[in-house]
Structure 1
Amino acid sequence: MPTPSAPSASVADGGLFCELYWGTSLAEAWSYGPELGQVHAAPDEKAPLPLYGFTLPEEPFLLAERTPKGWRIHVPPSARVEKRLKGNDFQPVGPDELTGAPGRTAVELREGMTLRLVEGELNLLLQPSVVKERAGRFRVRDVAWLITVAILFLSAPVAFLVMGPDPARMAANNARALQVAHDKEEARRKAMGLDKPMKPMTEAERATQQQDGGVRVTVPASFGVR
């Protein structure tokens, strides 16, 4: 019996992903989770979407709001709006797809669609971010692999501590090596006669000791030394 596949998440359950391009260079990117109901834009770094270069009728400007079917994108009055479906190029959005009064138009962001707002050299791309679908790909098998890798990573230092050198054995070996060196030094001192302490001379030894002043030589009186 085939296992039923999990239902894929829709745009209504996902978030919103935005990219701002200056020409062909990516300048900024923002991602908003599915718990957010509205996204406001303003030329301010503290705004939810800091948007510079677009003409906005008010600040902050309601750029996107969640609907039961996904997201509704409000188009700035001086911007041109284009759409792209999967595998296709950008095309202008038709008047029948726009809602609202002139200067206050909006367009629905559907699944598989990317909208592009263009004003001058700026391009703001908006597309749905289906988080649940991406998270569903992380299966139980992946978790098992992560656990296996973690166990192997943590077992290496434990194995070194268990199977590595015994500290007590290393201390005994060091003590044995020091004792052997000490015994060799004692044998060398004994062979040189340095193992016995020196004794002070007695009075008799001092009396019989003669100072070595050399051989006495008689020099004639006529012998001169220069």
Structure 2
Amino acid sequence: MNVIDRCWKLNHVWRMNRPQLATCSIGYTGKMTSNIGKDLVRYKVIDPSDDPINPKPGTLRHGAFVIQRKVWITFQRDMHIRLERPLLISSFTTIDGRGVNVDIAENACLMIFKATNVIIHNIRLHHCKPQAPGVVMGPEGKVIPLGHVDGDAIRLITASNIWIDHNTLYNCQDSLLDVTRGSTNVTISNNWFRNQDKVMLLGHDDGYIRDQNMKVTITYNHFGPNCNQRMPRFHAHPIENG
């Protein structure tokens, strides 16, 4: 059991204090304590459906984007969620899949765009597919255009203070995890990457100046079986991966 897991798994009543997890992060992301506090909204997903234009209360999209406050998202039961469009995740959002089996699969997946302080924990993301340009609900309830998406499981664009922990990612059309366009202060830990050609990309272009100061910690992850390249493709310092 590593230092992250010891921090919360040894607490046998962790279900009663889920936000303790935010104190367990390590690496460049630092402690994710900005995600918790007295103003935290606790939100439970009870409906696996998805409407990218008018998200219903009780769905993942409503919790992850419509609620523009600190929000801790859990799931009522095991769920298989097929997103109709990429899910944009707001700042100060935690998606906590502990205690249930949550699959986001077979269509669009996750995007963290110009957001900060996001935790994604214990989610299975697989068979993510490219998406043609379209529209989704944006800030303040306005419909906004979204360009072509390549089919990544998780894509970070100009994001910061992001912790991606204990997820399982596999069989996606493009990459499993991309950290690009000035994203920084990211910790990628305890994830299982498998059955994938291109696994992880840190920085999309050697000539992109904002990526030159990217800071990413990659630790306690497992790669394979059947991973071919980009494990990861990066300019960073990896520690204790298998």
Q: TM-score, normalised by structure 1?
A: 0.22
**Could you say which structure has the higher helix fraction?**
1
**Could you say which structure has the higher strand fraction?**
2
Higher relative CO (Cα under 8 Å, sequence separation at least 6) belongs to 1
- Structure of larger gyration radius: 1
Q: TM-score, normalised by structure 2?
A: 0.21
